[in-house]
Structure 1
């Protein structure tokens, strides 16, 4: 029986210059490691989804972390029986996750985060460590939410992340007086969302560190209902990080 395919998702907000040079290097390095997937590069950082053998993934990550810009990048891991990507792409973008809100610069300072195990405890207790009620805010697109989300999570039914700022303005008062935990698939959208909420004056905002994928990796998925949509051929992952096809 062949070894399982290792899948990783990771991102890092960090200022990058000379993007075509970065792209050329990463094209060569992913090819040398026989990886498939997608890497997005933008002036604000990197976002990647890769699949390959354990050796290939480890080799690539060692090379990436050898660069000062990415020394602390932290992937989320899962496995599959086959490679869920058809090719390898390294693309240059304006933003690694588009929000169209240039004042939000995660590299300049992150919003507070809550780790998976702490959040699991908060959800079980129904409050945070200060006794405030918790509100889970799903920052993903509506079709992703439909595959699964945290129980009683707020879902503003957005079709794309660029609609999040307007939705926040419309619903801001609903979040007052609560501890708000923003979450998404791997952490990148909820990081920007948490910063925007802090910018508009919402107190007690956290981002779920590592997103749903890290929550599944480090807990039993308590409080989550359904599966997590992923943008590859696996379609969704269950709380055990096993591929689960969408219902027809």
Structure 2
């Protein structure tokens, strides 16, 4: 497959958004990239597709900005570009939760990597013998495509509904280790910061989300596929596209 699809995000303070948008869009156009990049005061969230040479050139250019140095992307292949155009959008949040007390650009939430989570699920508890609860922070139409079968799924229609669902169900998590997960990491990171904000303990994000989990451990313990917000519709555990159309909210929605 000749097309490389990448997704990446970073919570970092950005105060030059209009000028940054112009520079980023010009570079994407010069390299004939397609996809969506979201920019907000709290950071960057990107989904791009092109031949590898063009993707590598863009990431090398982006890394020259110290705010994005070392930014790593999740990768998956496809035969065709799953976006129709290139968009660089300015937003209030790169993933909308509407919890203004949360400042993710101020410091990362605690995380576990894919291998650690797999080991915990294999043995039935974490390394302190605590029960592990998985929390799916995605929307219901995403979890319908695939999920960890034992995970808590609140059947939310949008990410902004998660705080209310947690507030009504907080006792479930007492004394347990909680690992939140999402497609690429951005929602589960913000979810963990919110859980810490309301006093929950032993809460972690899955580093790199489902896509990194598939990449590193092959989807062990997962059932189904993983919804993605582009014309592929979903990817399987080998990160191969399934081409499930139509998309419920269109290409470039907040997905990672």
Both structures adopt the same fold (TM-score exceeding 0.5): yes
* Secondary structure in structure 2 of the residue aligned to 1:60: helix
Displacement of 1:247 in angstroms is 8.8
CA distance in 2: counterparts of 1:247 and 1:58, whole angstroms: 28
Q: Is the 8 A contact 2:96 2:159 kept in 1?
A: yes
Q: Deviations over 1:195-231 (max 9, x none)?
A: 1111111111000000001101111100111011000
Match of 1:150 in 2: 148
Runs of 4+ in 1 over 6 A off after TM superposition: none
SS of 1:57's partner is helix
Q: Distance in 2 between matches of 1:247 and 1:124?
A: 34
User: Partners in 2 of 1:244 and 1:37 — Cα distance?
Assistant: 18
Instruction: Describe the shift of the 1:74–1:147 C-alpha distance in structure 2 as closer, same or farther (beyond 3 A).
Output: same
**Which segments of 5 or more consecutive residues in structure 2 lack a partner in the other structure?**
247-256
> In structure 2, what is the equivalent of residue 200 of structure 1?
198
Task: Give the TM-score normalised by structure 2.
Answer: 0.94
Q: Match of 1:102, SS?
A: coil
CA distance in 2, matches of 1:124, 1:151: 14
Shift, 1:18, TM fit: 1.9
**Equivalent in the alignment of 1:181:** 179
Number of residue pairs matched by the alignment: 246
Cross-structure match for 2:252: none
8 Å Cα contact 1:147-1:246 kept in structure 2: no
**Contact kept? 1:137, 1:153, Cα under 8 Å:** yes
| In structure 2, C-alpha distance between the alignment counterparts of 1:220 and 1:38, rounded to whole Å | 27
Structure 1: gaps spanning 5 or more residues: none
Superposed counterparts of 1:1-248, under 5 Å? 4-246=2-244
SS in 2 for 1:12: strand
CA distance in 1, matches of 2:2, 2:148: 29
SS for the counterpart of 1:244 is: coil
CA distance in 2, matches of 1:119, 1:65: 30
Q: CA deviation at 1:15?
A: 0.6
Alpha-carbon deviation of 1:151? 2.1
Q: Is the contact between residue 233 and residue 245 of structure 2 (CA under 8 Å) also seen in structure 1? A: no
> How far apart are residue 245 of structure 1 and its match?
3.6
RMSD: 1.2
The alpha carbon displacement at 1:190 in A equals 0.3
Residues 231 and 244, structure 2, Cα contact 8 Å, conserved in 1: no
Equivalents in 1 of 2:153, 2:207: separation in Å? 19
CA contact (8 A) 1:7 1:78 kept: yes
* Structure 1 residue 31, shift from structure 2 partner: 1.0
Q: SS in structure 2 opposite 1:90?
A: strand
